[in-house]
Structure 1
Amino acid sequence: MSEKPLSAKELLKHPAFSSNDWNLQPAKSGHATVASSRRGGPFPLWYEIHGAGPTKIVWIMGLGSPAEHWKRQTQYFGHENKNRYSSLVFDNRGIGKTASPTCLYKTTEMAQDVVDLLQILKWIDLAEPIKNLHVVGISLGGMIAQELALLIPGHISSLSVVSSSPRLARTAPSLDSWKKHITMLVPVGIDGELQRLSERLFSEEWLKKPDTENADPAQNFPLNQDRFAADELLSRQNTQVSFKGFMLQAIGAAMHYKSESQLAEIATSIGHSRIMVVHGEIDQFIPFHHFEFFKSGFGLEGIEYLVFPGCGHLPLWENEAEFNSALERLIHTTTGLTTRLWILDPDIHYEDLIGNVRMYQFNTLRHGYKSFYPGITTLVTGYQCANQEYDPLFLPPRRADVGALLEQTHQPDSLALYGGTRHDFGTRTNVTVSEQRFGKEEAFVQAVKFFRSWA
């Protein structure tokens, strides 16, 4: 017979209860006034920045949940690795320390709140799009992240959509799921609420496992379910969640709709290799078939689709180590990479910023890079290209040839490209040698691909 979870009274008296308060102190926190010129605004939005590293991560929480529910990721990225990352967490409108507008709103408005906040914090400059943000959104937060990707694609270096959906299916299982969401608002007593919520968010297998969060056994509960319930009790003590605020968020989530063409636009503008979609296989909150919707819009090529078998709605907790590792891998491979392309007729200028330090520039004629490098997506005009930058040997990329040359140089940071021509990137070549007679443009495309795998 399986062990019964502790009651709320037993949890509050348990010696492990205090271990749920991690007391993670932010490097910076406060209220930012958002929605100043929008319906329902202005209102103060509470935010915290944990860590002071150069890599910026924006964490967007889900329905009715405060910023502190990211604490496992805040601890790892914002404290254990505080010199590498700056983690921005915040209370969405209507939750915690952030005020609630009185009007109905959509996820687009919630995403615009994030844009306002990022501008106030000077994390972005809308006049100078640079891909320097890693956006992670879970559940409703994943819906907001999709809207954010449509609003500021030029600023997003990676996009991770977790336990979410581009739209809510109008099928019988989905309608049943939403009925259960609504019944969660029906009072059943605190013990009944905690039981109901834990069953909706986690797998039964995980809930019944022993709690092993702390090295000291005295600071652990009998079950993982007890750990979650205690965490929820503590959160309710510290966080205000009004019925109005919760319902307005729920309505916004229900109205969220992103078509396949909009998802395709996100994938194209952000870059397929910069996107990860994550879902628990037995998620009851947003059932797994919603995960499949992304594939028809984002496509299959380049996107990372990560499924946690036997996991519920919260892989950020149930599979914490693997979840953090997957995020860190994506962040590492995309940090500091931008793809800005200026089109003139007939000249093309491509600029790629790697590691927020090294600038790579190149001019070419006659051909665009887009067919060779699909990640280049942002097109603007008005950039002056240098004259006399012409190479008649503009041939299709030859990965093996250029890769071999790059390996021979041993100087990937700053290399001479053709004698006397300095571009701070590329490969050392000699046009008089037949084996090296391929265009500078071709070499550059391959060099960028090399640096992406190397950075």
Structure 2
Amino acid sequence: MANPTPLTAAELQAHPEFKHVTWDLKPEKKESVAVANGRGGPINIAYEVHGHGDIHLVVSMRYRKWVMGLGAFKSAWQRQTKDFAHTQASKYTSLIFDNRGMGESDKPLARYSTSDMALDAIELLDHLGWTGRRQCHIIGISMGGMISQEIAIRIPSRIASLSLVSTAPRLVNTVGFVENIRNRINLFIPRHIDEQLTRVKYNLFTADWCNAPDEHEYTVKSFPTNGDRMMASEITKRNNTAQFTRRGFLLQIIAAGWHHKSDAQLKQIGDEVGRERIMVVHGTNDNMITFPHGPMLLKGLGGEEGGVTKKFIDGQGHMLPAEMRKEFNGWIEDLVRRGEELNSKS
């Protein structure tokens, strides 16, 4: 059976569901906080808090902090935001935010680094009063996973669990010199929007999932395929030229490209956060941060034999939280539960 023909950019924008690809999830709190005073700031970081767990849940440390990756808005976590902080709003409180350079946050012209972005996030946690021992469950994907490593090495005693998804301790060339150069050049070659969307789609998601019928909740009408929905979201982001800028995107690329955590630093994270509180998730067919980075990260943290949870998924790509929504949520819940149990024993 032939694969369905993907909708063009024009067809996606004419689809009745296009205006609803970003779900209307009402936060408990939505504002910006100025950070980085004395570090090139102030820089305003936009954030939302979802969920309304009572004081006991706050005291018992049911916080989650979702750290998004390169070139993405905080709304890219909308599936998990809904599943944890809306469907289970009395149990979980979730924090999502736009990293500097993207979305509703400021986009200063400066050298960005994952360490500075981590300090931005820590100042945001301080602002919210999320400063208790083993209080925060941190989940980071891609560049967000790099930022999460930087958070972990700075405030390990405040972390109840640490989930590092489709990320790397440092970027190494795993595809050969010529292909590596070609891939970098391709980032900057102008292409028709439909060709751009095809490249984005198959770099982030697996072909089988993209070609499958749209499995998501819808307001008016589902899209023909999962891939069509994902690319409708991509167009929505790109159409918002105030929030998605070429400058901000390139500055974030620099931050991710220069991220570096040595094996000694990874060991420190494992020692101080606690390996039984850490999970490493990676797909073997990840086209953005290739699979060898996953085992590199796992080994540096102390390995599965040291207590780190390993989820290496055969055939999966970069965006596991979207493609494996139910399974991924289950992994997060299991690790959070373990973190809470460890808290009760300490």
* TM-score normalised per structure 2: 0.92
**More contact order relative to length (CA 8 Å, sep ≥ 6):** 2
Alpha-carbon spacing, 1:166–1:23, altered in 2? closer, same or farther (3 Å): same
- Quick check: 285-294 or 225-234, which moved more? 225-234
- Matched residues in 1 for 2:218 and 2:78: separation? 18
Cross-structure match for 1:325: 330
| Alpha-carbon distance, 1:214 to partner | 3.7
> Are 1:59 and 2:60 matched, yes or no?
no
Contact 1:134 1:156 in 2 (8 A): yes
Q: Percent identity?
A: 40
Determine which of 98, 102, 116 is the counterpart of 1:91. 98
Q: Which moved more, 1:251-260 or 1:327-336?
A: 327-336
Q: State the partner residue of 1:101.
A: 108
1:226 paired residue among 218, 228, 232: 228
- Any conservation in 1 of the 2:170–2:261 contact (CA below 8 Å)? yes
Separation (CA, whole Å) in 1 of partners of 2:178 and 2:334: 36
Q: CA deviation at 1:309?
A: 2.1
Instruction: Tell me, yes or no, if the aligned pair for 2:174 and 2:290 is still in contact at 8 Å.
Output: no
Equivalent position of 1:50 in the other structure:
50
* Deviation sequence 1:240-282 (CA, Å, 0-9, x none): 1211111111111111111111111000100111000001120
1:157-172 aligned within 5 A = 157-172=160-175
- 2:247 aligns with 244
Q: Where does the alignment leave 5 or more consecutive residues of structure 1 unmatched?
A: 339-353, 355-447
Q: Using a 3 Å threshold, how does the CA distance of structure 1 residues 90 and 251 change in structure 2: closer, same or farther? A: same
Distance 1:179 1:58 in 2: 36
Structure 1 CA distance for aligned equivalents of residues 245 and 215 of structure 2: 33
The C-alpha deviation readout for 1:10-39, integer Å capped at 9, x for no partner, is 11222332442311111001010000111x
For 2:81 and 2:178, locate their aligned partners in 1 and report how far apart those are by CA, in whole Å: 34
Q: Pick closer, same or farther for the CA change 1:320–1:42 going to 2, 3 Å.
A: same
Bigger helix share: 2
**1:381-420 C-alpha deviation (Å, 9 max, x unpaired):** xxxxxxxxxxxxxxxxxxxxxxxxxxxxxxxxxxxxxxxx
Distance 1:111 1:181 in 2: 26
Give the partner amino acid of 1:96.
G
Deviation of the 1:307 alpha carbon: 1.7
Distance 1:174 1:64 in 2: 25
What is the aligned partner in structure 1 of residue 156 from structure 2?
153
Instruction: State the SS of the aligned residue for 1:75.
Output: helix
CA distance in 1, matches of 2:89, 2:37: 32
Counterpart residue number, 1:6: 7
Aligned residue pairs, count:
335
For the residue of structure 2 that corresponds to 1:80, the secondary structure is coil
CA–CA distance in 1 between the matches of 2:267 and 2:166? Answer: 19
1:132–1:335: 8 Å Cα contact kept in structure 2? no
Whether contact under 8 Å (1:139, 1:165) holds in the other structure is: yes
Between the aligned partners of 1:275 and 1:178, the Cα distance in structure 2 is 34
- Is 2:275 aligned against 1:272? yes
- Residues 183 and 12 (structure 1 numbering): CA distance in 2 closer, same or farther, change over 3 Å? same
Q: 1:317: Cα distance to partner?
A: 0.3
Give how far 1:196 is off: 1.0
Offset at residue 190 of structure 1 (A) = 1.8
SS of the residue 1:219 aligns to:
coil
Distance (Å, rounded) in 1 between the aligned partners of 2:4 and 2:248 = 36
Q: Residue 313 of structure 1 corresponds to which residue in structure 2?
A: 318
CA contact (8 A) 2:20 2:218 kept: no
Q: Which runs of 5+ in 2 are unaligned?
A: none
TM-score, normalised via structure 1 length: 0.70
- Contact kept, 8 Å, 1:57 with 1:85, in 2: the verdict is yes
Alpha-carbon distance in 2 for matches of 1:23, 1:232: 17
Whole-angstrom CA distance in 2 between matches of 1:244 and 1:98: 13
Report the RMSD for the aligned CA atoms in angstroms: 1.9
Task: State the partner residue of 2:29.
Answer: 28
SS of aligned partner of 1:105:
coil
Which residue of structure 2 aligns with residue 235 of structure 1?
237
> Does structure 1 residue 76 correspond to structure 2 residue 78?
no
Query: Separation in 2 of the partners of 1:333 and 1:256?
Result: 29
For 1:111, which of 118, 125, 139 is the aligned residue?
Answer: 118
Alpha-carbon displacement from aligned partner over 1:159-189 (angstroms, at most 9, x marks no partner): 0000000011134448845753552343212
State the SS of the aligned residue for 2:110.
Answer: coil
Are residues 1:144 and 2:147 paired? Answer: yes
- Cα pair distance change 1:177/1:73, threshold 3 Å: farther
Alpha-carbon offset, residue 87 of structure 1: 0.5
Q: Residue 255 in 1 paired to residue 258 in 2?
A: yes
2:43 and 2:181 map into 1 onto residues whose CA distance is: 29
Contact 1:131 1:337 in 2 (8 A): no
Residues 136 and 160, structure 1, Cα contact 8 Å, conserved in 2: yes
Instruction: Provide closer, same or farther for how the CA distance between residues 78 and 208 of structure 1 changes in structure 2, counting only shifts above 3 A.
Output: same
